[in-house]
Amino acid sequence: PKDLAGERVLVTAGPTREELDPVRYLSNHSSGKMGYAIARAARRRGARVTLVTGPVCLAEPFGVETISVVSAAEMREAVVSRFAAASIVIKAAAVADFRPEARAGSKIKKSAGETVLRLARTGDILAEIGRLKNGQFIAGFAAETDDLGGNAVKKLKEKNLDMIVANDVTREGAGFAVDTNIVTMIFSDGRIEDMPLMDKETLADTILDRIAAMRRQSPNLASG
């Protein structure tokens, strides 16, 4: 069903890369598969979809406006500048929390002994749009290795989200770079739903089922 017709969905996917010098960077194992599956499914269900993606090895989804970024700062700019026009935001990207304090202009040469890398914090994009929220439905993701429920509920509240999709990345079949995931969906009204092992395509539609149902209950000015 075209149950997302009229919605403008903004999805983020993939990792970010924080450059150290012209040849090296800090990043993570995100493949982008979850976010791309959500973008494709949302488009199939009638939404106008914008995908902001970090560097991944996936084909651009058909019919989806795709914006490629590299660093957390670039992703922030791409998301914040499009936030007002969105009615639903789903942040599946694994954004780096730290970047090298300085990017060397030329390749860092090795020296004898150990070296220390100074890192600075990147801005939390999800928290920022949570503060800017004006009727949008915001779904975040949480990748955890300990106390899945506790940490995810904390993120849901602190970042002013409507929903958080939490996954324990230590479980086999869950998390980064696999085609399946095992998640717990937590909603701002306190509902918690534990999901079985699912392929990311099915999970994308399940997440959108929940969002579409909540949008039907409380549509607002941001849609249309």
The contact set with ligand CTP (CB under 6 A) reads 72, 91, 93, 95, 97, 122, 124-126, 140-143, 155
Is 167 marked active-site?
no
Helix (H) or strand (E) holding 151: helix 148-158
Q: How far is the CB of 152 from ligand CTP (least distance, A)?
A: 8
Length of the chain: 224
What is the C-alpha to C-alpha distance for residues 158 and 143, in angstroms, rounded to an integer? 16
Alpha carbons within 13 angstroms on the beta-carbon side of residue 130 total: 19
Query: Encoding tokens for residue 83?
Result: 């936030």
Identify which of residues 23 and 194 has a Cβ nearer to ligand CTP in the complex.
194
Identify which of residues 93 and 211 has a Cβ nearer to ligand CTP in the complex.
93
Tell me which residue of 175, 158, 179 sits closest to 166, measured CA to CA.
175
What is the C-alpha to C-alpha distance for residues 171 and 54, in angstroms, rounded to an integer? 24
Q: How far is the CB of 144 from ligand CTP (least distance, A)?
A: 7
| N-term to C-term CA, the chain | 17
Query: Encoding tokens for residue 20?
Result: 């150290």
Q: How far is the CB of 40 from ligand CTP (least distance, A)?
A: 19
What is the C-alpha to C-alpha distance for residues 135 and 146, in angstroms, rounded to an integer? 32
Identify which of residues 43 and 91 has a Cβ nearer to ligand CTP in the complex.
91
Identify which of residues 41 and 125 has a Cβ nearer to ligand CTP in the complex.
125
Q: How far is the CB of 142 from ligand CTP (least distance, A)?
A: 4
Q: Which of 28, 160, 167, 220 is catalytic?
A: 28
Query: Encoding tokens for residue 81?
Result: 């500048």
What are the catalytic residues? 28
